Amino acid sequence: MIAVVLWQELLDGFGFVLAWIYSVIPNYGISIILLTLAIRLVLLPLGIKQIKSMQNMQALQPKVKELQKKYKNNKEKLQQEQMRLYKEAGVNPLGGCLPMLLTLPFLFAMYAVIKQPILSPSQQQHGAFVVKNNHLPETSQLFKNVLLHQDTDFLYMNLQCNLIGSGTQVELRYKDPADGKVKQLPNGAPIIAEDGQPLTFEAATQSTLDCGTSRIPDTIPYVLLVALMVGSTFYQTWQMQRASPQGSSTSQQQAITRLMPLMFAFFGLQFPAGLVLYWTTSNALQVAQQTYLLRAGHIGPDALDRRMAEQRERMANGQPKRAGLMGWVSERAEAAQKQRQENQKGRADPSRGQANRNPNKGKPQSKGQRPTGQPGAKKPPAVNPKAQGSRDGSGSAPKKPQGPQTGKGAPPGNQLKRDPKRTPDPEESP
* Segment 127-158, tens digit of pLDDT: 899 998 899 999 999 999 999 999 999 999 99
Residues sharing a CB contact under 8 Å with residue 275, sequence separation 6 or more, in sequence order: 110, 111, 114, 115
The band of 429, judged by pLDDT with boundaries at 50, 70 and 90, is very low
Rounded Cα distance, 143 and 366, in Å: 86
Report yes or no: 297 and 290 within 8 Å, Cβ to Cβ: no
Neighbours of 14 (CB within 10 A): 21
Look up the pTM and report it: 0.67
pLDDT in tens, 20-45: 999 999 999 999 999 999 998 988 88
DSSP 355-392: HHH-TTTTS---TTPPPTTSTTPPPPPP--HHHHH-SS
Rounded Cα distance, 20 and 137, in Å: 9
The least confident of 186-195, 264-273, 312-321, 348-357 is 348-357
Q: What pLDDT shows up at residue 273?
A: 94
Q: What pLDDT shows up at residue 37?
A: 94
Q: Which residues of 308-335 are buried (b: 16+ CB within 10 A; e: fewer)?
A: beebeeeeeeeeeeeeeebeebbeebee
Share of the chain above pLDDT 70, in %: 63
Share of the chain above pLDDT 90, in %: 29
Looking at the DSSP bridge assignments, the partners of residue 191 are 129
Report yes or no: 244 and 129 within 8 Å, Cβ to Cβ: no
End-to-end alpha carbon distance in the chain? 108
Report yes or no: 211 and 23 within 8 Å, Cβ to Cβ: no
Q: What pLDDT shows up at residue 319?
A: 52
Break the chain into its structural domains and give their ranges: 2-42+116-151+173-206
The separation between CA 53 and the C-alpha centre of its own chain, rounded to angstroms, equals 12
Average pLDDT over the chain reads 75
What does the pLDDT average to over 372-391?
A: 48
Please tell me whether the peptide bond between 190 and the residue prior to it is cis, using omega within 30 degrees of 0.
no
